[in-house]
Amino acid sequence: MTKSNILTDTFGRKHNYLRISLTERCNLRCTYCMPADGIQLSPKDHLMTYEEIYTIAKEFVSMGVTKIRLTGGEPLIRKDAALIMEKLSSLPVQLTLTTNGVIVDKFIDHFKKCGIKTLNVSLDSLDTQKNKEITRRSYFEKVYQNIILLVKEGFLVKVNCVLMKGFNDDEVIDFINLSKNLPVHVRFIEFMPFDGNQWNMERLVSLQEILSKVHSNFEKNDIVKLQDAPNDTTKSYQIKGYQGTFAIISSVTNPFCDGCNRIRLTANGQIKNCLFSSKESDLLTKLRAGESIIPIIQNAVQTKFKVRNGMDTLEKFNQSDMHSNNRSMIAIGG
């Protein structure tokens, strides 16, 4: 196998998009992500240093990775986050990040310096009180203002909103209307099951339910279906005349595994070949032992399932024990 096809799996999917989690910690406590009693954090010396992150990323780039997303936990609370961004920006990749937006205002110049042009910012409610309830913290105003600041500073902002029935599903239209005068890209994410997040199918707001809300609120001719790129996880739309767009990420009811090009690296240096896989491959130990990490990467890619770690039907996916061996989302890096 040549270096250039190590990242191609047995179904012909080329994994050119690496998502690196910088930390398991966060300044918010979103109920769907972080269990109520927290998580067991990895000991500090089990976490990748910035040099190790750079070395691993460089290896992935030499195998064909062209896009790197920094995530977490909250990537920006890591003390050396700025340094990591700077190091990675020297690689020939599109560098981006997913953040809860609380402290992005402190990094505006740094993002520009590192060539970061797009950011995903999480915001699950446009109501201060509901936001407090879901994040278990009070930063709504800060995040909202930071989204506006990012737009003003010329960044492309994708607003990630996890929908949950009876909680924020009544805000679908408000979120779409946010894109009327603000050129943001709102993405509704189906609530996904991870360890400790009390997922059940009844709380999920499906692609079909979201679309039916859209159709009962807007004229058919005003709802424009946009073209999605081959590896996009989204189904994108725009309301005629609106500056921004909206999209739906339907990992549960309509998985997009066929076009999956993502591979994940956790903050403690484990490869995950799928968000829903409990299996991990320990890159960091190999790296620290001075051995090649390529065989580990190759094995992780070659053993990737066709659909959601083998949960190819909704029935299989709906069994809670299928998810209990997996990490909580906060420790995976979404």
Q: How buried is 292 (Cβ within 10 angstroms: 0-12 exposed, 13-18 middle, 19+ buried)?
A: exposed
Mark the segment that binds ligand SF4 (CB under 6 A) among 25-33, 178-186, 202-210, 219-227.
25-33
> Which residues inside 87-146 make contact with ligand SF4, applying CB under 6 A?
100, 122
Binding partner of residue 287 among ligand SF4, ligand SAM, none, CB cut-off 5 to 8 Å per kind? none
Q: Please, which residues have CB within 8 angstroms of residue 268's CB and are 6 or more apart in sequence?
A: 24, 42, 46, 47, 48, 284
Query: Would you mind telling me the total number of residues written for the chain in this entry?
Result: 334
Q: Which residue, 160 or 261, is less far from ligand SAM as judged by CB?
A: 160
Please, what is the minimum distance in Å from the beta carbon of residue 308 to ligand SF4?
A: 20
**Within positions 55 to 74, which residues make up the interface with ligand SF4, using CB under 6 A?**
72-74
Task: Judge whether 301 and 273 are in contact, CB under 8 Å.
Answer: yes
Cβ of residue 120: shortest distance to ligand SAM, in angstroms?
Answer: 6
Residue of the chain from 20, 26, 163, 176 that contacts ligand SF4 (CB under 6 A):
26
Q: Is 74 in the site for ligand SAM (CB under 6 A)?
A: yes
Burial class (CB in 10 A: 0-12, 13-18, 19+), 312: middle
> Nearer Cβ to ligand SF4, position 124 or 171?
124
111: left (phi over 0), alpha (psi -120 to 50) or beta: alpha
Are 98 and 160 within 8 A, CB to CB? yes
Chain positions 184 to 213 lying near ligand SAM, rule: CB under 6 A, are 189, 191-192, 194, 197
Between CA 247 and CA 189 the distance in angstroms is: 9
Q: Which is nearer to ligand SAM, 140 or 194 (CB)?
A: 194
The stretch among 23-31, 180-188, 191-199, 310-318 that binds ligand SF4 (CB under 6 A) is 23-31
Largest CA distance in the chain: 61
- The 81-120 site mask, x for binding ligand SAM (CB under 6 A), equals -----------------xxx--------------------
Residues near 324 by beta carbon (within 8 Å), at least 6 away in sequence: 195
- The whole-angstrom separation of Cα 135 and Cα 125 is 10
Beta strands in 29-127 (DSSP E): 67-71, 94-99, 118-122
Q: Examine residue 171 and tell whether it contacts ligand SAM (CB under 6 A).
A: no
14 vs 25 by CB, closer to ligand SF4: 25
Closest CB 199 distance from ligand SAM, rounded Å: 7
Q: Which residues bind ligand SAM (CB under 6 A)?
A: 26, 32-33, 71-72, 74, 98-100, 122, 160, 162, 189, 191-192, 194, 197, 329-330, 334
